[in-house]
Structures are given as C-alpha cells and as structure tokens.
C-alpha cells in the first residue's frame, strides 16, 4: 500500500515531509547547542589562562639594584680566623650598614639626584631581605671578606611593582610603604642603569616570606613538599592499587562480599577530598601521633584519595585484555599467576600507568585535605633530604596558593598567580607523560 498525504497525493522522495523537516531541525538545534557548549567552554578556558598568565607572569621577573659592596674585614671578621660561629654573630644590622654606605656611594658615583633624600628613605627602596641575603652570601663563602662584592639587592615590593605597572604615583601617595618621591629617585636610578629587571630564579627556590617582604617570597619549600608527597603517593598507591586490582579482577571469587568491596571502591572515588582530610587528622595525627605539616601525613592522605582512581583504572585496563590471551597462556601449560604476570599485566600496563599518573596529577592539585593537617602553616626552613625530610614541616603548591591569596599585599596576589602557573606546568607535564606512555606501550588487536 502506497502512503499518500492529506490531499491524496503521493509524497515525494526528493522533498522532505513535515516530520522529516522537524527531525532535521531538532538535529540542527542539538548540533548548535553542542557547538555553543564547546565554544563557551573554550571561552572560559581562554579567560582563565589569560587571567592567570596576565597576573602571574610578572612574578617570574624581579627588580634588582646592583651595587659594589666592600666587605670590610674589620667589621665582619675581627679575628681574621674565618670562624663561622664568630662571623655569625654579626647580625643583619651590621650588613645593612654596609649596604647603606655602598648604596649612597654608588648613587654619588653615578650622579643620581636623590633630592636630598634621607639614607633611611633610600634604604626603603631595597627589600628588607637584602641584608639577610648579603649575610648568607658571606657566611656561605667567607673568602669574600676583604674583597668588593658586586651585589644584586632585591628592590622593595612597591618599587618592583612600579616597574611592572602595578604601582603608580597616585597609589604611592596613599601608601605608607612608599612615597612618590622615592619612586622618582627609583626612576632616576633606572635611567642611570642602576635598577634592572630580570628573571626571578628566587621565586622558584626561595622559601615563603613574611607579609612585609613579598618580593622575597618563593616556592622552594612548597615544591619540595609537593615532590616528597608525590614520592610517598607513588611508592604506596601503585603497588597496593595494582595488587588489589589484580586480585579483584583475576583471582577473587564472585560473591556478595566482592560486590560490596567493588561498590565501596567506586563510592570512595566520589567522596569529597575534605572528608579524607578529616580522616587523616583523626587517624594519622591524633591517633598515630605523626607530626603536623609533614609530607608523610600529606602523602598518606593523598594515597588514600588516589587508590580508588588507580584501582578503577587498573581494573578497566585488565578487563580490556582479550580473554583469548589468558586462554592461550593457560592452554600451553602456564599457571594462573604466570598468565597474569607474563601476559595480561604487560598488555594492561599502558592503562595502569596512565591511570596512576592521572591519579597523581589529581593528588598534586588537592588542597582541602592538606589544610586540615596543618600544611598551611608558615614554613621558612627547607625540609631535609628523604627519608628524614618526610617528617619535617613543609608546605605544598596548592596550599601555598591559598595562603598567598589570603594576604593583603597585592604583590602576594601576583605571586599566587605565578604559583598557579607553576602548578599548571607540573600538571600538564604529568598529563603529557601519561599520553606518551599510553601511546608508547599501546597494543592493538
């Protein structure tokens, strides 16, 4: 029987009827919604990257004031024995006077008009950390005493911000930490080639600093703390997660108990990270007595968070291996364990490594559980090398970002964006390694 329309005519195969037009229109609308969603996501990503890069790239540059400082032996080492214990008695006040004298002489030699500014105000152009840096340099190399050292002192955070465009004459007029007159002298020093802005290695190596010294704040302790925690997570989560996955997927009997365990593992992967922080606080710190702010506690809690992700990824990789591989191995006389470790596990290894690295990347960016175990504390000293360093106080990259965003000085907001860039670089590197490993060991059948 041939279909006809309401007017008794046969429908054309070349012209769509009303129902087909409605279906095509719905498909077109769905495509447009998909394109709009992707475009919105890309727009948000571009906005995020532009905001982070625009605010944070300047933290990798620092303004310095170069000067020649004569290291007078009579002031720094009266005995002349180069005894570090005796030399350490010279405080930063003594080194500050050396810097003050060298700064005034340098300005006179370069012909920089200071407008009769007081020495105290001239020293205000420098970071309060400058004297400590000079002291550390001399104590690290006592042979410098008696020579003239070319020293690059960090500029004050406000002066640094002026040359980066963050501080203006108008804002300086309302700021108690800098004056427009000081900025005028700083500009003259820059014109004379005394002040220079270059790459800021200390942002990656220095420890955190107080709120009065944002220019000297760095990520050294946070990077070490994150690295120590990732070492602990990798050493614990990979063997435990792979062993649990092999047992559940290849050896465990299928009954209600294994079903219950599988359901709980899947649920644990969706538990908010703050819950793991509460668990770590109660178990590792209050019950076991492990130290607060230590990478060992952070590593243990991140291991608990990462295990479900690794187990799920490993089980999916083991399931993806064709059953014929197992059957063939067992058919030629291999035992169950031999078929698993000699045939199944190598073929599943790309997925296992990818899941492990992605789990580590998630752990690297977590901050909520670390806040609860005290890793937000101000830590000035570097942790020791492992294994002692696992128990020393340390910080972590995401927690350092949180800490800097809580401080009032705008220079710390710049530092926080810079720390986010460093964190993103680590995450992108780990994701790139996961992709390379997957493609390198991938097998197709």
Three-state SS for the chain is CCCCCCCCCCCCCCCCCHHHHHHHHHHHHHHHHHHHHHHHHHHHHHHHHHHHHHHHHHHHEEEEEEEEEECCHHHHCCCCCCCHHHHCCCCHHHHHHHHHHHHHHHHHHHCCCCCCCCHHHHHCCECCCHHHHHHHHHHHCHHHCCCEEEEEEEECHHHHHHHCCCCCHHHHHCCCCCCHHHHHHHHHHHHCCCEEEEECCHHHHCCCCCCCCHHHCCCHHHHHHHHHHHHHHHHHHHHHHHHHHHHHHHHCCCCHHHHHHHHHHHHHCCCCHHHHHHHHHHHHHHHCCCCCCCHHHHHHHHHHHHHHHHHHHHHHHHHHCCHHHHHHHHHCCCCHHHHHHHHHHHHHHHHHHHHHHHHHHHHHCCCHHHHHCCCCCCCCCCCCCCCHHHHCCCCCHHHHHHHHHCCCCHHHHHHHHHHHHHHHHHHHHHHHHHHHHHHHHCCCC
**Are residues 227 and 159 located together in one domain of the fold?**
no
What tokens appear for 356 in the block?
């492990």
Does residue 30 have a pLDDT over 90? Answer: yes
Specify whether 347 is located in the same domain as 436: yes
127 and 171 part of one domain: yes
137 and 266 together in one domain: no
pLDDT (0 to 100) of residue 374: 78
Judged against a pLDDT cut of 80, whether residue 441 lies above it is answered with no
Q: Among 167, 198, 229, give the residue marking a domain's end.
A: 198
Angle at which helices 273-280 and 295-320 pack, to 10 degrees?
Answer: 130
Percent of residues, the chain, with pLDDT higher than 90 = 24
Tell whether 191 and 253 lie within a shared domain: no
pTM higher than 0.85: no
C-alpha separations of 250 from 255, 307, 320, 336, 356 in Å: 14, 18, 13, 9, 19
Residues 224 and 265 in one domain: yes
Please give the backbone phi and psi of residue 336, each rounded to the nearest 5 degrees, phi first.
Answer: -60, -45
Is 333's pLDDT higher than 70? yes
Q: Is residue 106 part of a domain?
A: yes
230-246 average pLDDT score = 91
- Looking up residue 413, the CATH number of its domain turns out to be 1.10.3720.10
Whole-number pLDDT of residue 445 = 57
Neighbours of 436 (CB within 10 A): 13
Token couple for 362: 């998630």
pLDDT of residue 9: 60
Let me know if residue 45 belongs to a domain.
Answer: no
Query: Taking 80 as the threshold, does the pLDDT of residue 332 lie above it?
Result: yes
The answer to whether position 301 is within a domain reads: yes
The reported pLDDT for the residue numbered 443 is 66
On whether residue 177 sits in a domain, the answer given is yes
Query: Tens digits of per-residue pLDDT, 336-369?
Result: 889 998 988 888 888 888 888 888 888 888 888 8
Q: Are residues 383 and 257 in the same domain?
A: yes
Q: What is the tally of structural domains in the chain?
A: 2
Shared domain for 163 and 225, answered yes or no, is no
CB 117 within 8 Å of CB 181: yes
Instruction: Check whether residue 125 and residue 194 sit in a common domain.
Output: yes
Query: Using CA atoms, how far apart are residues 60 and 219, in angstroms rounded to an integer?
Result: 11
Tell whether 343 and 397 lie within a shared domain. Answer: yes
In a domain, 12, yes or no: no
> Residue 279 is part of which domain span?
219-441
Domain end call among 138, 164, 198: 198
In a shared domain, residues 290 and 425: yes
Residue 104 lies in a domain: yes
pLDDT tens-place string over residues 160-206 = 999 988 889 998 888 888 899 999 999 999 998 888 888 989 899 98
Same-domain check for residues 235 and 185:
no
In a domain, 23, yes or no: no
365 close to 193: Cβ distance less than 8 angstroms: no
Q: Domain end: 198, 232, 247, which one?
A: 198
User: What pLDDT sits at residue 444?
Assistant: 61
In a domain, 11, yes or no: no
Q: If DSSP codes are grouped into helix, strand and coil, which group holds residue 43?
A: helix
Per-residue pLDDT band for 211 (boundaries 50, 70, 90) equals: confident
């Amino acid at each position: 029987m041939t279909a006809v329309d309401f007017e008794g005519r046969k429908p054309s195969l070349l012209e769509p009827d009303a129902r087909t037009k409605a279906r095509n229109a719905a498909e077109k609308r769905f495509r447009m919604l998909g394109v709009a969603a992707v475009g919105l996501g890309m727009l948000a990503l571009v906005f995020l990257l532009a905001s982070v890069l625009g605010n944070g790239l300047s933290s990798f540059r620092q303004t310095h004031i170069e000067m020649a400082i004569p290291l007078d032996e009579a002031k720094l080492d009266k005995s002349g024995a180069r005894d570090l214990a005796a030399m350490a008695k010279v405080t930063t006040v003594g080194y500050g006077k050396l810097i003050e004298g060298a700064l005034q002489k340098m300005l006179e030699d370069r012909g920089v008009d200071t407008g009769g500014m007081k020495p105290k105000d001239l020293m205000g152009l420098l970071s309060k950390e400058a004297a400590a840096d000079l002291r550390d340099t001399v104590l690290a190399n006592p042979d410098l005493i008696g020579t003239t050292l070319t020293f690059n002192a960090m500029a004050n955070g406000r002066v640094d911000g002026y040359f980066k465009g963050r501080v203006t004459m108008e804002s300086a007029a309302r700021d108690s930490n800098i004056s427009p007159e000081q900025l005028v002298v700083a500009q003259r020093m820059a014109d004379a080639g005394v002040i220079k802005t270059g790459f800021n290695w200390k942002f990656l190596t220095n420890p955190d600093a107080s709120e009065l010294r944002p220019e000297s704040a760095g990520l050294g302790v946070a990077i070490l703390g994150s690295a120590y925690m990732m070492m602990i997570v990798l050493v614990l989560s990979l063997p435990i997660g792979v062993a649990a996955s092999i047992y559940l997927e290849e050896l465990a009997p299928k009954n209600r108990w294994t079903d219950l365990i599988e359901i709980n593992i899947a649920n644990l992967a969706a538990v908010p990270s703050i819950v793991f922080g509460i668990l770590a606080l109660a178990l590792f710190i209050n019950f076991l007595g492990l130290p607060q702010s230590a990478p060992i506690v952070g590593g243990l809690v991140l291991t608990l968070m990462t295990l479900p992700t690794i187990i799920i990824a490993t089980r999916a990789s083991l399931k993806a291996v064709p059953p014929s591989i197992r059957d063939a191995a067992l058919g030629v006389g291999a035992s169950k364990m031999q078929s698993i470790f000699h045939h199944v596990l190598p073929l599943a290894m790309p997925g296992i490594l990818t899941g492990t690295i992605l789990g580590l990347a998630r752990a690297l960016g977590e901050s909520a559980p670390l806040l609860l175990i005290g890793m937000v504390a101000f830590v000035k000293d570097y942790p020791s090398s492992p294994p002692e360093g696992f128990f020393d106080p340390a910080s972590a990259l995401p927690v350092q970002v949180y800490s800097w965003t809580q401080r009032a000085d705008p220079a710390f907001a710049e530092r926080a964006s810079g720390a986010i860039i460093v964190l993103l670089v680590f995450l992108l590197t780990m994701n790139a390694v996961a992709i390379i490993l997957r493609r390198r060991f991938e097998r197709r059948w």
